[in-house]
Amino acid sequence: MAKPTSLEIHNYKCFSSLRLETVGDVNLIAGKNNVGKTTLLEAVALVASGGNPTELFRILDRRERPSSEAALVQCMMDQFPALPCFLGFDEFGLDGVKIDLPANWPKDNLKGPWSEFRRDSHSKLIPSFAIHCMTGAFAFDLTLETRQAAYAGVFDTDPRVAGTMRTYRSNFELRSNPNLIRRLWDETEARPSEEILIQAMRIIEPKIQRITLPSIPETPTPRLRLGDSSELAPITRFGDGLTRLFEIGLSLVNAKGGFLLLDEIEDGLHHSVFPKLWEFLLRSSKDLDVTIFATTHSYDAAVSFSRSALDDKNSLGFLTRLDQRKSGIVPVQFTEREAFLATEEGLEVR
């Protein structure tokens, strides 16, 4: 499957119009707070979800969940609960909301516009979440009914939602979802993917020989066997870094042909881990055909990314910083060499 080589986001949250001229195998997104680093990951997740409204509501709930059902009723958005994603743009409902991938994107996948208004039987305007693909266009009204259907899993099995790619966001998706960990592990255990996962975890603990996941559903805590020991020790005994690598590795091996989204990649990881982690991610992105987007605030992460990306001759790694300017949020993209030279000179690139 062809990977995207560029990306455009229009009228989604803080982005009125954002174009990344270049998308690499691994993309590190930097920038100050509130410039849309996580929002960019969300937009990619929406595209990759195949337009499944469940993804849209999941994003909204993570960011804007009302404190109670009562508050939800009071909320002015209660009729159109996905609207906050698209507010603030004059074009909304005229040109539509677009999250476009480039022309070389496979034809059976999605193209914009993603959202528009339609009139219901009483001529009332209802915002819609529209999907346009080669086989036709479908629209989901952004109403409470759609939301309820999304949570009932209706769209997950809807044959109209085609072209769904596997996308996982390791840090905010796995920890709160034991069932997902279980499902991904079942897809990984005793397969070549398991060895790749072990490789990831050996970045911190080189003695790891084996990983198991106890079959007790409510406690999906991985257990590790180190060296010649017969003991299977819970991963929680080792510290957060190893758990983080487990989540990244498990997400990666299950995102073949899709996307891996890593928000604040430095979470729980010491700076000394980064050179090997980037080396692993750059290599795996090619081997597993995964496009990786990661965000960071860490200079160490940016410096080691720049070095690893230049060293890896097979994979493309791009450092992009989002800057807030008068005209809106703009991307500043460094080539591999530019990022390397700038960080070697000790210049600020984040």
Partner 1 sequence: MSSNFLVSGGTAEWHLIVHLFPALKPKLKYPEGNAIAALSDDTVRERLSFAIKSKVERICVLFDAEQREAQRSWRSVREVLAEDGYVQLPEEMPKSGVICEAEGRPRVGVWIMPDNLSRGMIEDFYLQSIPRDDRERIRSEQFIQSIPSSERLFGAKISKAVYGVWLSIQKEPTSPAQAITRNLV
Residue among 168 and 340 whose Cβ is closer to partner 1? 340
Contact 50, 163 (CB under 8 A): yes
- Cβ-based neighbours of 162, under 8 Å, separated by 6 or more: 50, 108, 133, 135
**Which of 85, 329 has the CB closer to partner 1?**
329
In the structure encoding, which two tokens stand for residue 74, read together?
């009071």
Separation CA 350–CA 286 (nearest Å): 25
CA atoms within 13 A on the CB side of 25: 27
Closest to 181 in 3D by CA, of 165, 191, 170? 170
Residue 321 engages partner 1 in binding (rule: CB under 8 A): yes
Nearest-approach distance from CB 218 to partner 1, in angstroms: 47
Query: Residue 139 and residue 223: Cα distance in Å, rounded?
Result: 45
Length of the chain: 350
Shorter beta-carbon distance to partner 1: residue 29 or 349: 349
For 241, other C-beta atoms within 10 Å of its C-beta total 17
Cβ of residue 346: shortest distance to partner 1, in angstroms?
Answer: 6
Query: Residue 42 CB, nearest distance to partner 1 (Å)?
Result: 24
The minimum distance between CB 279 and partner 1, in angstroms, equals 23
Give the pair of three-digit tokens for residue 276: 């090997």
Question: End-to-end CA distance of the chain, in Å?
Answer: 31
Of 217 and 346, nearer to partner 1 (C-beta) is 346
Closest by alpha carbon to 64, among 47, 86, 45? 86
Name the region of 88 (left: φ>0; alpha: ψ -120 to 50; beta: rest). left
Q: Which two tokens stand for residue 301?
A: 């992460």
Task: Give the footprint of partner 1 on residues 330-349 (CB under 8 A).
Answer: 330, 332-334, 337-339, 341-342, 345-349
Q: Is 326 in the site for partner 1 (CB under 8 A)?
A: yes
Q: Which one, 271 or 337, has the nearer CB to partner 1?
A: 337
Nearest approach, Cβ of residue 137 and partner 1 (Å): 37
How many whole angstroms separate alpha carbon 343 and alpha carbon 317? 15
Give yes or no for residue 318 binding partner 1 (CB under 8 A): no
Query: Given the rule CB under 8 A, which of 11-19, 204-212, 242-250, 329-337 is the region that contacts partner 1?
Result: 329-337
Q: Does 300 interact with partner 1 (rule: CB under 8 A)?
A: no
At residue 291, φ and ψ (nearest 5 deg) are -95, 125
Residues 97-156 that bind partner 1 (CB under 8 A): none
At its nearest, how many Å lie between partner 1 and the CB of residue 330?
Answer: 8
Region 148-207 residues binding partner 1, contact defined as CB under 8 A: none
SS3 190: coil
Residue with Cβ nearer partner 1 (194 or 336): 336
350 binds partner 1 (CB under 8 A): yes
- Closer residue to partner 1, CB minimum distance, 108 or 323: 323
Q: Which stretch binds partner 1 (CB under 8 A): 44-52, 262-270, 285-293, 326-334?
A: 326-334
Contacts with partner 1 by CB under 8 A: the residue count is 19
Question: For partner 1, which is the closer residue by CB, 239 or 328?
Answer: 328
DSSP state letters, 161-172: S-----EEEIII
For residue 278, which of 223, 188, 209, 343 has the smallest C-alpha distance? Answer: 343
Q: Is 70 in the site for partner 1 (CB under 8 A)?
A: no
Q: Which one, 297 or 350, has the nearer CB to partner 1?
A: 350
Under the rule (CB under 8 A), what is the footprint of partner 1?
Answer: 321, 323, 325-326, 330, 332-334, 337-339, 341-342, 345-350
